[in-house]
């Protein structure tokens, strides 16, 4: 088979566009055009380049490979599976996944060897295999009309109720929910209180804590709320019990430890964008507030929180490249490291989609620390 057909067949097998594949292969600013020329037979890759293409995503790194698992879990609002990885490391078997975003589904499939189910609102609980632990990094849907009474229940779009529905019908021994820190104070704390009340009514013990990624060896100032629950019908819970959230390690972090040495020029922001950043920062300073871009270097202990909007202008995390050079955005691989994903995690999508996916994901080392405690406590307290 000719090289052009081999490349096209590989790309189609992965379900990627030329833009996705070129970015995923790290082909640089003109990568899409180069790949198109290869596929059209107008030019040919070197032997090394062809080998790189053929080896890409040839192994599914996080497939369920153990024959015997200690417990079963499900992964809801799974994104790219950041919460799944630590629970699988602890001996768990994922028996069901739900994620509606087609690009996240692609990343999930190539890393875990499973196609996630789609919209959770369309899935009946009896379609899900019995499991021990429910995991969900559920979206922070508009809770604005939430109150302590009917108001919350009338917020039909709130996807927390899908979690409640599945917990109620399947009765897992434990669950872990993750959300933005702001959930704790939303609507003067009433939103969180309603969530807790709904879970308590199902006879679940519930506890929550806000944990900061930078306190657990991740060079990112990311704060998230982690809500843990145990089924009191299956788990012995004393009335004075508190879940032992992992103690911060306070391990020193340094941004340079996750930065790549050789970075393509396409990640350097344009003169126009940089001038816009500088202008907006000046305007904010004149108004007396601190908004604007954030500049970091290799010696910075940690960055700002990466968000799903990072692809737009990179303003929350820009890397200083020295005098005479515009700063640059993080590369997708650096974003993966900033969230603590393993080095063998496959990034099979365009840079834009990769930024959205890692911005929406979790700090894996923090989840790993919580997961160890949750599984340990579930086994220790089981009736």
Q: Range(s) for CATH 3.40.50.150 in the chain?
A: 71-251+363-381
140 is catalytic: yes
**Token pair in block for residue 105:** 């589904």
349-378 per-position pLDDT tens digit: 999 999 999 999 999 999 999 999 999 999
User: Which of 65-79, 104-118, 175-189 has the highest average model confidence (pLDDT)?
Assistant: 104-118
Helices (H), the chain: 3-14, 18-24, 31-39, 47-55, 84-89, 102-112, 150-153, 160-170, 190-201, 271-286, 310-313, 332-338, 351-360, 364-381
In the predicted structure, residue 142 carries a pLDDT above the cut 50 = no
Supply the pTM of this predicted model: 0.92
Q: Range(s) for CATH 1.10.260 in the chain?
A: 3-55
Confidence at residue 145, expressed as pLDDT on a 0 to 100 scale: 35
**Superfamily (CATH) of domain 255-343:** DNA Methylase, subunit A, domain 2 (3.90.120.10)
> Has domain 3-55 been given CATH number 1.10.260?
yes
107-117 per-position pLDDT tens digit: 999 999 999 99
Mean pLDDT of 82-90: 97
Bridge partners, 169 (sequence order): none
Set 57, 60, 140, 295: catalytic member: 140
188-211 per-position pLDDT tens digit: 888 899 899 999 999 999 999 999
In the predicted structure, residue 34 carries a pLDDT above the cut 50 = yes
249-306 per-position pLDDT tens digit: 999 999 999 999 999 999 999 999 999 999 988 888 888 776 778 999 999 999 999 9
Strands of 219-301, DSSP E: 223-231, 295-296
Q: How many helices (H) and strands (E) does the chain have?
A: 14, 8
Mean pLDDT of 136-146: 59
Picking from 34, 27, 137, 132, the residue whose alpha carbon sits closest to that of residue 74 is: 132
Higher pLDDT: 246 or 313? It is: 246
Q: pLDDT tier at 140 (50, 70, 90 boundaries)?
A: low
156-165 per-position pLDDT tens digit: 347 888 999 9
**Superfamily (CATH) of domain 71-251+363-381:** Vaccinia Virus protein VP39 (3.40.50.150)
Mean pLDDT score of the chain: 91
Radius of gyration in angstroms for the set of CA atoms belonging to the chain, rounded to a whole number: 22
In the predicted structure, residue 346 carries a pLDDT above the cut 70 = yes
Pairing of strands 318-319, 223-231: unpaired
Confidence at residue 295, expressed as pLDDT on a 0 to 100 scale: 95
Q: Give the separation between CA 298 and CA 71, rounded to whole angstroms.
A: 41
**Token pair in block for residue 359:** 């911005």
334 contacts: CB under 8 Å, gap ≥ 6? 258, 259, 260
């Amino acid at each position: 088979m000719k090289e052009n057909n081999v490349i096209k067949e590989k790309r189609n097998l992965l379900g990627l566009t030329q833009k996705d594949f070129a970015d995923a292969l790290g082909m640089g600013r003109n990568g899409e055009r180069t790949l198109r020329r290869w596929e059209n037979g107008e030019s040919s890759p070197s032997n090394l380049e062809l080998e790189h293409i053929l080896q890409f995503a040839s192994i599914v790194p996080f497939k369920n490979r153990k024959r015997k698992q200690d417990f079963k879990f499900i992964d809801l609002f799974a994104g790219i599976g950041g919460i799944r990885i630590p629970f699988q490391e602890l001996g768990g078997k994922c028996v069901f996944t739900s994620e509606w975003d087609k690009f996240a589904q692609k990343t999930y499939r190539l890393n875990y060897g499973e196609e996630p189910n789609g919209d959770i609102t369309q899935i009946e609980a009896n379609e899900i295999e019995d499991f021990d632990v429910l995991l969900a990094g559920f979206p922070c849907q508009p809770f604005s009309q939430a109150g302590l009474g009917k108001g919350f229940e009338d917020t039909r779009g709130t996807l927390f109720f899908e979690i409640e529905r599945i917990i109620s019908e399947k009765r897992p021994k434990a669950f872990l929910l993750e959300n933005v820190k702001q959930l704790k104070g939303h609507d003067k704390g009433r939103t969180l209180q309603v969530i807790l009340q709904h879970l308590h009514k199902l006879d679940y013990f519930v506890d929550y804590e806000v944990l900061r990624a930078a306190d657990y060896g991740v060079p990112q100032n990311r704060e998230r709320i982690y809500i843990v629950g145990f089924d009191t019908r299956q788990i012995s819970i004393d009335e004075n019990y508190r879940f032992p959230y992992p103690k911060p390690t306070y391990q020193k972090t340094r941004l340079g430890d996750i930065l790549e040495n050789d970075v393509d020029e396409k990640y350097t922001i344009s003169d126009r964008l940089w001038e816009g950043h500088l202008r907006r920062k000046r305007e904010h300073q004149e108004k007396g507030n601190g908004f604007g871009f954030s500049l970091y270097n290799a010696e910075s202990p940690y960055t700002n929180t990466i968000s799903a909007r990072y692809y737009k202008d990179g303003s929350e995390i820009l890397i200083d490249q020295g005098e005479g050079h515009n700063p640059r955005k993080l590369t997708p691989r650096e974003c993966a490291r900033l969230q603590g994903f393993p080095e063998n995690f496959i990034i099979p999508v365009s840079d834009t989609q990769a930024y959205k996916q890692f911005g929406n994901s979790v700090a894996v080392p923090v989840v790993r620390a919580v997961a160890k405690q949750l599984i340990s406590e579930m086994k220790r307290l089981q009736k």
